[in-house]
Structure 1
């Protein structure tokens, strides 16, 4: 199956994950694509293909004769799409030989070069966009399609020498649960690569340290006509506390290695209210400092009102993978070489986010992240370059060769 056909097939599956769900995977519809992948992997000749009770799909490209002792490497992508926007009834639009100009998604919506200057990189490429009503699903069905296409190529070209290669597809990455039950020992790879990056050439082995924080405020609702000295407006407490956090540490004011607090939700009434944050920083000390600042703001508000009206629940989510990857420079160096062999200029940069690879690295599988070609993830402006996706396939094949040397 051609890469384009495979990708368009995968995005036809609605695989949106659900953060409010308590099941795993969080939605049954993810299993539909995962089961499809099981059958497809079997059809192209992969061995040890299975889906476990948690929905993880794994399979093997057997080692070439004489390469059985080469290090086992793995390639991993997630099948779910973000809860931010619908991934149902995706209607991809294909633009051949993109002219570098603004793109009309529908009668009401344009994707302009002014708003998205990265488009200029893709002049002459074949682009696949949304129709402006859903996300596309390139995050991360582009990665899934690239891994499957590379696997089919390796299986049909036995002259290419490679060691044993493991493939893994996961659910629920978009809601931070992607590897909650991933069996690293069973996967059996020494090193792995997630195909979950964006722009062509991206290679990432540094990511945010991450925490979530939830605030619960118990106010005191008194009729406003007689509220003086009595009312505690829970919504106002939430707002006041938010204003105590550094303004310059919001995402809209940060870049590169700079961390942030992001207020992701706020709801309630005078009597009670709640809010939620994500906290991010590449530097572990600055990350811990951000948590201390938030705790200090909570303590101040409680002292101000003379009781514990604000409750804070804070939980670490994942850590910077660099600590686990840097001791193994070969996993980075081979990725760089594989890109150069594919005529791709490596762009080593930190992830202003996280991937399954971050947690897998701390679970014993050093796992940097490689570009998959998609852009503008999680929304109606999402698109991917078919040309870049072909380059990603070649990078996978090149890595297979390099690890067998």
Structure 2
């Protein structure tokens, strides 16, 4: 379908553009540098022959591949995000290409002794003999989700050059700020005009997901009192000790490092602390809506209990919902999952249908009226120096996009 050289060239041209998003920014996109890739994609979609190519004031890039059949069939869409996670730097990405991977350790950076090893990341072994693209150990790679963008653009280009593959109207969109939870906030679903869509934002080959966490963010604010430590008896209140009480009162084993599958968690991801004020930043996750609500209530009750124990209103908590489990919106239209599953099977890919331990643009879009399951993009170890993607997985994902378009046309013609 598409050569390894072509898809590698396209992917590396994207990942070398820094598009890290910023959760502390109030703009959309949250960083000006995201415009660099957004504008490149705008021009590239025009150059390959897409129609109705647009880029709005918030950097959302949309385009249409018109139907090449007479029958009226559903309009489908494919979506990926171009920002990268602020968890690890995405500046000066220097991708390394490992041909015919031999199943042994990959030295990412000899000077810093950074090694990508199958002894720790055993998924590497399933790609023995394939071509891997890795980092140089000092940045993330950006396969999340520039692999997805590569696959969508490559699939559209293939379909344009191969009109024998019959399909209906296909919409594509590339979004900013997904990594900070805002990728769908300013997505114009009506303008997009698809009956349903797929995010190309999963990990290893075969992944197909239509369930995700219910998600909330919590900020716990603890007030203390600072006085001279030499004269502090009976006067000082050290907010950091109170924060420790709060942290230790939550279930210790209900954290990301101790959970899997459908198990939810509390995740403390940031602390800002001084004697007179400490803030704890948590995310709350659970697939089950009732358990999700119970987790939020547990935090509220813990705040009340500790304040009662301290005899003062020392602790306050603010909880904001972020997104919900798209299963509720996708199950009534399960044929859209069935089509993706059949596409993989016809291409010799074993579907791996499982819940997402996270969220995608699709989870929010599903509640905005655009049912949107998630499909693998091929990468592994996102958001860090050990990120990698097999080129063969990107090629397979490109083929899945084309096959979904073909099967949809066949089913509804």
Normalised TM-score (structure 2)? 0.96
Identify the match of residue 98 of structure 2 among 79, 95, 102: 95
Query: Is 1:379 matched with 2:368?
Result: no
Q: Secondary structure at 1:86's aligned position in 2?
A: coil
Once the two structures are TM-superposed, the CA of residue 230 in structure 1 deviates from its matched residue by: 2.9
How far, CA to CA, are the matches of 2:224 and 2:306 in structure 1?
12
How far, CA to CA, are the matches of 2:6 and 2:228 in structure 1?
67
Identify the match of residue 319 of structure 1 among 315, 324, 334: 324
Identify the match of residue 23 of structure 2 among 19, 23, 26: 19
Task: State the Cα deviation string for residues 115-156 of structure 1 (Å, max 9, x = none).
Answer: 101111111111000010111110000000000000000011
How far, CA to CA, are the matches of 2:378 and 2:192 in structure 1?
26
Once the two structures are TM-superposed, the CA of residue 5 in structure 1 deviates from its matched residue by: 0.9
| Counterpart position of 1:74 | 77
Once the two structures are TM-superposed, the CA of residue 225 in structure 1 deviates from its matched residue by: 3.5
How many residues align structurally?
404
Identify the match of residue 57 of structure 1 among 32, 56, 61: 61
Segments of structure 2 that go 5 or more residues without pairing to the other structure are none
Once the two structures are TM-superposed, the CA of residue 302 in structure 1 deviates from its matched residue by: 1.4
Once the two structures are TM-superposed, the CA of residue 89 in structure 1 deviates from its matched residue by: 1.3
Task: State the Cα deviation string for residues 301-329 of structure 1 (Å, max 9, x = none).
Answer: 21122222212110000000100001111
Q: Secondary structure at 1:374's aligned position in 2?
A: coil
Identify the match of residue 148 of structure 2 among 143, 148, 151: 143
Once the two structures are TM-superposed, the CA of residue 70 in structure 1 deviates from its matched residue by: 0.6
How far, CA to CA, are the matches of 2:57 and 2:109 in structure 1?
41
How far, CA to CA, are the matches of 2:230 and 2:20 in structure 1?
48
Once the two structures are TM-superposed, the CA of residue 292 in structure 1 deviates from its matched residue by: 0.7
Segments of structure 1 that go 5 or more residues without pairing to the other structure are none
| Counterpart position of 1:331 | 336
Identify the match of residue 290 of structure 2 among 278, 285, 307: 285
Query: Is 1:185 matched with 2:193?
Result: no
Task: State the Cα deviation string for residues 363-382 of structure 1 (Å, max 9, x = none).
Answer: 00000000000000000000
Once the two structures are TM-superposed, the CA of residue 32 in structure 1 deviates from its matched residue by: 1.0
Q: Secondary structure at 1:375's aligned position in 2?
A: coil
The RMSD of aligned alpha carbons is 1.0
Normalised TM-score (structure 1)? 0.98
Q: Secondary structure at 2:109's aligned position in 1?
A: coil
| Counterpart position of 1:393 | 398
| Counterpart position of 1:28 | 32
Once the two structures are TM-superposed, the CA of residue 90 in structure 1 deviates from its matched residue by: 0.9
| Counterpart position of 1:273 | 278
How far, CA to CA, are the matches of 1:122 and 1:228 in structure 2?
62
Once the two structures are TM-superposed, the CA of residue 342 in structure 1 deviates from its matched residue by: 1.5
Identify the match of residue 240 of structure 1 among 223, 242, 245: 245
